[in-house]
C-alpha cells in the first residue's frame, strides 16, 4: 500500500497512487479523479505540498504552468499563472489560495483548472497533468528554482452519445 501524506485528502478512488505525484521536492494530489462527459465543462482542483507533505504556500512562486495531456501524450489544454504567454494557446489557471486580513491563509496550495467544451470534446480516455512552478526570488531571497511534477492522473473523459451523434438521427415530428 502506498504512503498517505498526513493532511492530504484521501482519494475517493481508494488508491492514492493513482492521484498522487511521486516527486520528492514537491507533491501534487487530486482528491478524486474527475469524470467528464465529452463536450461538457469541468474543473479540476490540484492540491500542492512541499517535500515534507506540508501545504505549499503559492505566494513563493512567480509562474506556474500546467499541461493536461491524454494517454497518447496529446495536449488537452495548457494553463498558466499569472497570464498566458504571448503566442501561446491556453487558459489562466485559478489560484484558490487566499490570505485573510488576520494573516491566515485559506486553501493553501490549491489551484483550479477549468475546461471548456472545446477541451473535453475529444476522444474518451484518461487525462494527466504535468506541472512546472518557478520560484519568485523576491519572495524566497534565493536564486529562482524551477520545480517540475511529471505525471499525475487527474481526469477521465467519458464518451457522450449526444456529443457524438449530433442532431440528425432518431425520430422526429417533421416529415
Kindly tell me if the per-residue pLDDT of 6 is higher than 50: no
Compute the CA torsion angle 96, 115, 38, 71 (nearest 10 deg). Answer: -90
What is the pLDDT at residue 1?
Answer: 36
Give tens-digit pLDDT for 73-88. 999 999 999 999 999 9
What is the pLDDT at residue 164?
Answer: 84
Q: Is residue 169 part of a domain?
A: no
Give tens-digit pLDDT for 21-36. 655 688 899 888 899 9
Looking at per-residue pLDDT, the higher value among 174 and 11 belongs to 174
What is the pLDDT at residue 19?
Answer: 53
What is the pLDDT at residue 151?
Answer: 84
Bridge partners for 27 per DSSP: 49
Q: Are 160 and 39 in contact (CB under 8 A)?
A: yes
Q: Is residue 165 part of a domain?
A: no
Q: Are 124 and 38 in contact (CB under 8 A)?
A: yes
Q: Are 18 and 129 in contact (CB under 8 A)?
A: no
Determine the Cα–Cα distance for residues 106 and 111; give it in Å rounded to an integer.
12
Kindly tell me if the per-residue pLDDT of 101 is higher than 70: yes
Q: In what order do the strands lie in the sheet with 26-29?
A: 26-29, 42-50, 110-115, 94-95
Q: Report which of 102, 127, 114 is spatially closest to residue 44, judged by C-alpha positions.
A: 114
Q: Is residue 173 part of a domain?
A: no
Strands 110-115 and 94-95: antiparallel
Looking at per-residue pLDDT, the higher value among 112 and 163 belongs to 112
- Tell me the pLDDT of the chain averaged across its residues: 86
Bridge partners for 20 per DSSP: 29
Q: Is residue 1 part of a domain?
A: no
The DSSP call for residue 55 is B
Kindly tell me if the per-residue pLDDT of 3 is higher than 70: no
Q: Is residue 107 part of a domain?
A: yes
By residue range, what is the domain housing residue 146? 16-159
Q: How confident is the model at residue 67 (pLDDT cuts 50, 70, 90)?
A: very high
Query: Mean pLDDT, to the nearest integer, of 57-63?
Result: 95
Determine the Cα–Cα distance for residues 123 and 158; give it in Å rounded to an integer.
8
Q: Residue 88: CB partners within 8 Å, gap ≥ 6? A: 78, 80
Q: Is residue 65 part of a domain?
A: yes
When divided into structural domains, the chain yields a total of 1
Give tens-digit pLDDT for 107-153. 999 999 999 999 999 999 999 999 999 999 988 788 989 999 988 99
Q: Are 56 and 76 in contact (CB under 8 A)?
A: no
Strands 105-106 and 34-37: unpaired
Q: Is residue 108 part of a domain?
A: yes
Looking at per-residue pLDDT, the higher value among 13 and 70 belongs to 70
Q: Is residue 99 part of a domain?
A: yes
CATH of the domain at 133: 2.60.40.10
Amino acid at each position: 500500500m502506498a504512503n498517505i501524506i498526513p493532511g492530504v485528502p484521501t482519494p475517493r478512488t481508494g488508491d492514492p497512487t493513482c492521484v498522487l505525484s511521486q516527486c520528492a521536492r514537491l507533491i501534487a494530489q487530486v482528491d478524486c479523479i474527475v469524470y467528464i462527459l465529452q463536450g461538457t465543462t469541468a474543473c479540476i482542483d490540484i492540491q500542492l505540498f512541499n517535500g515534507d507533505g506540508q501545504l505549499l504556500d503559492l505566494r513563493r512562486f512567480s509562474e506556474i504552468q500546467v499541461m493536461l495531456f491524454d494517454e497518447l501524450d496529446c495536449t488537452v489544454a495548457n494553463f498558466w499563472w499569472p497570464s498566458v504567454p504571448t503566442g501561446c494557446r491556453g487558459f489562466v489557471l485559478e489560484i484558490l489560495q487566499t490570505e485573510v486580513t488576520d494573516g491566515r491563509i485559506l486553501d493553501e496550495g490549491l489551484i483550479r483548472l477549468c475546461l471548456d467544451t472545446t477541451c473535453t470534446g475529444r476522444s474518451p480516455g484518461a487525462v494527466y497533468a504535468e506541472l512546472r512552478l518557478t520560484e519568485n526570488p523576491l519572495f524566497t531571497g534565493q536564486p529562482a528554482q524551477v520545480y517540475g511534477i511529471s505525471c499525475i492522473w487527474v481526469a477521465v473523459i467519458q464518451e457522450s452519445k449526444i456529443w457524438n451523434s449530433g442532431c440528425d438521427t432518431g425520430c422526429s415530428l417533421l416529415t
